[in-house]
Amino acid sequence: MIVSPRQKRTRGLQYGGLLLYMLFLAFPLLWLLSVSLKGPRELVELHPHLIPQDWTFSNYREALHGDIGIGDVTLLHAAWNSTKVSLLTALLTTVIGLPAAYVLARQQGLISRVGLGWILLSQMFPLILIIIPLFLLLRDLHLTDSHTGLVFVYVVWTLPFILWMLQSYVRGIPRDLEEAAMVDGASRLTVLRTVIVPLLAPGVAVTTLFAFITAWNEFFLALVLLQTPGLTTLPLLLARFVGVEGVVRLGPLAASALLATLPSLLLFTVIQRWLTRGLMSGAVKG
């Protein structure tokens, strides 16, 4: 193919544009990385460099060995809290969501249409309308300042979206497959086990991971519900650390922030391909 100078120029412009985008997207991240690798003396320099003059991993060491937390809550302690809460949320939403999604996808009646409409609509409501009644409800159950209460709220909060994604995966499985198996004399349960579950497995994995990431990143609900520092989740710990006026040690903070992002970033790279596909099939059709 012959490339005209005009086309060449367009390509050049396109590469330039792409480069600008990459700068905008990546620059804050690079800066965070750079700050996390600087020693305390370099951090108070009036004119900082992007590339640390004095590489050091001491910030990471400090972040991991405590000393950064409020009270005696260390980064690792908060990470363990986050893991516990996110894992529970992910498992519970999947366990509750799977059967419900199956029914929603396979039933054609009014209920399922109303249900789906509701799910879409519930994504539009401001969080404050859900958190206040949930807070008052948890107060009556004496669960406000506990992980159990937080998991409960997370499940309620992530379930609609999880349901939406799961039911779109179920829809993706042709009905004929099921019917063919039924004709062969298999019971409904056997069909579920031998046909649906294996086909659905990747979708379920993606949604479970997505629920995990959502709970891992969540901040507002934890902020409202948790008081005891021992229960603090990661985002909460980081946010509190930012708040302390004047005494913020930027290096360890940057290191902790990066460490806290790592798990969700890794999981996200694993699932992003399926996630975007699942979302798109939902969004474009809807």
Least Å distance, CB 20 to another protein, is 9
Q: Could you tell me if 226 and 236 are in contact, meaning their C-beta atoms sit under 8 angstroms apart?
A: yes
Least Å distance, CB 242 to another protein, is 6
- The site that binds another protein (CB under 8 A) totals a number of residues, namely 107
Q: Pick from 3, 41, 71, 185: which binds another protein (CB under 8 A)?
A: 71
| Long-range interactions of 175-182: CB distance < 8 A, separation 24+ | 175/106
x-or-dash string of contact with another protein, 154-193, rule CB under 8 A: -xxx-xx-------------------------------xx
Task: Determine if 127 is a binding residue for another protein (CB under 8 A).
Answer: yes
Looking at residues 223 to 252 of the shown chain, list those that interact with another protein (rule: CB under 8 A).
223-224, 227-230, 234-235, 238-240, 242-247, 250
Rg for the chain (alpha carbons), in Å? 24
Least Å distance, CB 22 to another protein, is 5
Single out the segment in contact with another protein by CB under 8 A; choices: 52-60, 129-137, 165-173, 179-187.
129-137
H, E, C per residue of 88-125: HHHHHHHHHHHHHHHHHHHCCCHHHHHHHHHHHHHCCC
Task: Determine if 109 is a binding residue for another protein (CB under 8 A).
Answer: no
Single out the segment in contact with another protein by CB under 8 A; choices: 101-109, 170-178, 179-187, 211-219.
211-219
Task: Determine if 261 is a binding residue for another protein (CB under 8 A).
Answer: yes
Task: Determine if 129 is a binding residue for another protein (CB under 8 A).
Answer: yes
Instruction: For residue 28, give the nearest of 216, 268, 257 by alpha carbon.
Output: 257
- The H helix count followed by the E strand count for the chain is 13, 0
The residue type at 133: P
3 state DSSP class of 245:
coil
Q: Could you tell me if 222 and 228 are in contact, meaning their C-beta atoms sit under 8 angstroms apart?
A: no
Task: Determine if 26 is a binding residue for another protein (CB under 8 A).
Answer: yes
Task: Determine if 84 is a binding residue for another protein (CB under 8 A).
Answer: yes
